């Protein structure tokens, strides 16, 4: 009598576990690639006052490819000026779409901080290598 109860409870418990797993998983972080146009690539530049530098000493891009350049500050207030591309990205204006022309291939383009941010400001630089 009531032999069916245990298997039935087991099934209910399993379903409940699956339900919990499905609902308690943290929300998927929104992909950084979301919002990119087709064929567009992301170039992220992050600046910090720790060492007065950009997160990479060299950023690599491909000539002829359209990039969404996203700038952000990790610590302090900085800007990323890319004079060769006529861009100055700041906290207020952190994004730009840009295609490095084929004529830039093989060139190294300078990025420098465009906002007076402190004692390391004058040497706060990085480069974009166009391949």
The helix (run of H) or strand (run of E) holding residue 41 is strand 41-48
Q: Does 121 bind Cu ion (CB under 5 A)?
A: yes
For Cu ion, give the closer residue by CB, 31 or 119. 119
CB of 67 vs Cu ion, minimal distance in Å: 23
Binding-site member from 117, 126, 128, 130 for Cu ion (CB under 5 A): 117
CB of 125 vs Cu ion, minimal distance in Å: 10
Q: Where are the alpha helices (DSSP H) in 56-114?
A: none
Count the residues of the shown chain that bind Cu ion, applying the rule CB under 5 A. 4
- For 45-82, give one letter per residue: b (16+ CB within 10 A) or e: bbbbbeebbbeeeebebeeeeebbbbbbbeebebbbbb
CB of 42 vs Cu ion, minimal distance in Å: 24
Residues in region 87-116 near Cu ion by CB under 5 A: 113
CB of 68 vs Cu ion, minimal distance in Å: 23
List, edge to edge, every strand of the sheet that includes 66-75. Answer: 53-54, 41-48, 66-75, 95-99
Which residues of the shown chain bind Cu ion in the complex (CB under 5 A)? 113, 117, 121, 124
């Amino acid at each position: 009598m009531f032999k069916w109860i245990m298997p039935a409870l087991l099934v209910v418990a399993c379903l409940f576990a699956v339900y919990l797993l499905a609902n308690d998983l943290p929300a998927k972080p929104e992909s950084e690639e979301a919002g990119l146009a087709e064929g567009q690539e992301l170039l992220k530049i992050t600046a910090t006052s720790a060492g007065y530098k950009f997160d990479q000493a060299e950023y690599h891009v491909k000539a002829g490819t359209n990039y969404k350049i996203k700038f952000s500050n990790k610590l302090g207030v900085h800007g990323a000026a890319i004079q060769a591309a006529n861009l100055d990205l700041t906290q207020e204006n952190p994004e730009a779409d840009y295609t490095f022309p084929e004529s830039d291939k093989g060139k190294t383009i300078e990025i420098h901080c465009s906002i007076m941010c402190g004692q390391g400001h004058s040497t706060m630089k990085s480069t974009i290598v166009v391949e």
